[in-house]
C-alpha cells in the first residue's frame, strides 16, 4: 500500500530549493509536472494511457498532483535541465 504523503511540509522547502536555482524555477517546474500528472488521470478516466506519464513515486489517488510533483523532484525522479541557447 502506498505511504500517505503529507503535503507541502513534506518534503521541506529547503530540500526542494537545493534542486533548483530559485523559488520561481521550483514553482514553474512543479506546476508543469503537476499538469502532466493531472492530464494523466484525465486520460486514465477516458481510457487512453498513451499521452502522459503517471506519477513516478508511490502515491494514492487522493494525493494532489502538485504534492506528487514535489515528491518526484525531491526524490530526483525529475531533473531540471537548462534550455539550450539558440543557435544563429
Cβ(16)–Cβ(70) below 8 Å: yes
Report the pLDDT averaged over residues 1-18: 71
Res 27: pLDDT: 93
Domain boundaries, the chain: 7-74
Report the pLDDT averaged over residues 75-86: 79
Please report which confidence band the pLDDT of residue 8 belongs to, taking 50, 70 and 90 as the band edges.
low
Domain with residues 7-74, CATH architecture: Alpha-Beta Complex (3.90)
Conformation bin of residue 84: beta by default, left when phi > 0, alpha when psi is -120 to 50? beta
Quote the percentage of the chain above a pLDDT of 90: 31
End-to-end CA distance of the chain: 52
Instruction: State the residue for C-alpha cell 514553474.
Output: 28
Does the global pTM surpass 0.85? no
Amino acid at each position: 500500500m502506498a505511504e500517505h504523503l503529507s503535503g507541502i511540509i513534506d518534503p521541506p522547502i529547503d530540500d526542494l530549493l537545493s534542486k533548483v536555482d530559485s523559488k520561481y524555477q521550483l514553482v514553474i517546474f512543479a506546476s508543469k509536472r503537476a499538469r502532466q500528472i493531472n492530464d494523466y488521470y484525465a486520460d486514465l478516466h477516458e481510457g487512453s494511457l498513451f499521452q502522459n506519464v503517471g506519477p513516478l513515486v508511490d502515491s494514492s489517488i487522493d494525493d494532489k498532483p502538485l504534492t506528487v510533483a514535489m515528491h518526484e523532484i525531491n526524490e530526483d525522479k525529475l531533473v531540471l535541465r537548462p534550455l539550450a541557447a539558440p543557435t544563429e
